[in-house]
């Protein structure tokens, strides 16, 4: 059903493209901008207007959504004299959904305050498929006054929204969840490599945990990718490394050392050095396998 909400979406990568399509499906007018324009162009077929600049996308828009790699990318796209914030419609709201960490979110909130634009810190849980299906979980935090108005957009991109308080609360929870994810992928990669080194078929490991409290669907999904050595990207290793580094930075601020996260960052670095940065984060398995100088046992397939 058409409605008269105009939304500027900056960033049409893995996550942003799916989100933009779901906003269009909800009947909103979507203006999409992407640094590499060709990646935004397919959205025109779904009814989006593709803009040449963030400012062009934002002119007169009720909402600005950013879904870019990191805080620096968001600053590049949104900051500056000719940025998009001053040209939003009166009372326009910025929904910042990229993962930018706690300090990053604080910086972006200041940027918004400088332009008198309401800022909602709203990182999301979920990956490519939930983004395409409108099934993300939104960790929203920001001014109470814009909550009701923002909700229809979150309903379009997600299946659940948690409102967590003042801006920054969403990013804090997001980092906690991401630490969990990053730890899981690191230990799963080593467990798979360890199984192989021990002459154990990793499929047996997945079979034995399946259905019980240890058998996370996530382990099945990513474990299969490792066993098949196929890593189609839902979440790039490069951005997972960025998130792990955000966790470490936030922990350091609290005087806390996160030895497990540090070890996984080192693994991510090894995998990136070996050229796997744009593959799915499960490709960290390559780094786990290379340790010890052994030849992995042949596998039963
Ligand atoms: N994928 C996931 O599973 C997932 C889940 C939850 C949260 N996230 C977070 O969501 C955000 C986007 O992730 P994604 O997976 O969609 O990444 P992606 O596919 O790599 O897209 C990244 C986007 O950022 C843009 N970009 C990078 N540097 C830029 C700069 N300096 N200036 C302007 N634009 C820049 C890219 O433009 P180009 O196309 O020109 O390179 C692209 O539009 C990240 O913060 C990520 O951590 C991802």
Q: Is 106 in the pocket of ligand 1 (CB under 6 A)?
A: no
Please name the residue whose Cα sits nearest to atom 28 of ligand 1: 73
Note the pLDDT tens digit of each residue in 63-98: 999 999 999 999 999 998 899 999 999 999 999 999
Q: Is 281 in the pocket of ligand 1 (CB under 6 A)?
A: no
Q: Is 76 in the pocket of ligand 1 (CB under 6 A)?
A: yes
Strands 29-33 and 49-50: parallel
Note the pLDDT tens digit of each residue in 208-244: 999 999 999 999 999 999 999 999 999 999 999 999 9
**What is the best residue among 18, 37, 50, 69 to mutate for testing ligand 1's pocket, by most ligand atoms within 8 Å of CB?**
69
Beta bridge partners of 96: 66, 121
State residue 138 phi and psi, 5-degree precision: -100, 125
Note the pLDDT tens digit of each residue in 30-41: 999 999 999 999
Please name the residue whose Cα sits nearest to atom 43 of ligand 1: 11
Which positions are annotated as active-site residues? 174
User: How far, in whole angstroms, is CA 97 from its chain's centroid?
Assistant: 8
Please name the residue whose Cα sits nearest to atom 39 of ligand 1: 36
Confidence of residue 110 (pLDDT cuts 50, 70, 90): very high
CB-CB contact of 11 with 29 (8 Å) = no
Give pTM, 2 decimals: 0.95
């Amino acid at each position: 059903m058409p409605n008269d909400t105009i939304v500027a979406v900056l960033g049409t990568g893995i996550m942003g493209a799916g989100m933009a399509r779901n906003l269009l499906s909800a009947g909103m007018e979507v203006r999409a901008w992407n640094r590499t324009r060709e990646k935004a162009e397919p959205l025109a077929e779904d009814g989006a207007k593709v803009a040449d600049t963030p400012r062009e996308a934002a002119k007169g828009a009720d909402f600005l959504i950013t879904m870019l790699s990191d805080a620096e990318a968001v600053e590049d796209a949104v900051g500056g004299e000719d940025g998009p914030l001053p040209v939003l419609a009166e009372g326009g709201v910025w929904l910042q959904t990229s993962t930018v960490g706690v300090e990053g979110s604080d910086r972006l909130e200041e940027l918004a305050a400088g332009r008198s634009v309401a800022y909602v810190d709203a990182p999301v849980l979920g990956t490519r498929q939930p983004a395409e299906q409108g099934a993300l979980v939104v960790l929203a935090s920001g001014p109470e006054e814009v909550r009701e108005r923002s909700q229809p957009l979150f309903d379009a991109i997600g299946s659940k929204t948690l409102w967590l308080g003042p801006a920054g609360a969403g990013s804090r929870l997001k980092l906690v969840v991401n630490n969990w994810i990053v730890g899981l992928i690191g230990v799963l990669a080593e467990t798979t490599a360890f199984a192989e080194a021990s002459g154990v078929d990793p499929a047996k490991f997945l079979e034995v945990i399946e259905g019980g409290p240890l058998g996370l669907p996530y382990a099945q999904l990513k474990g299969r990718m490792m066993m098949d050595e196929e890593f189609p990207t839902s979440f790039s290793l490069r951005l997972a490394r960025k998130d792990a580094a955000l966790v470490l930075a936030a922990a350091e601020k609290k005087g806390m050392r996160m030895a497990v996260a540090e070890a996984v960052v080192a693994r991510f670095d090894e995998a990136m050095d070996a050229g796997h940065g744009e593959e799915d984060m499960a490709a960290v398995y390559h780094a786990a396998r290379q340790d010890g100088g052994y030849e992995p046992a042949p596998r039963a397939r």
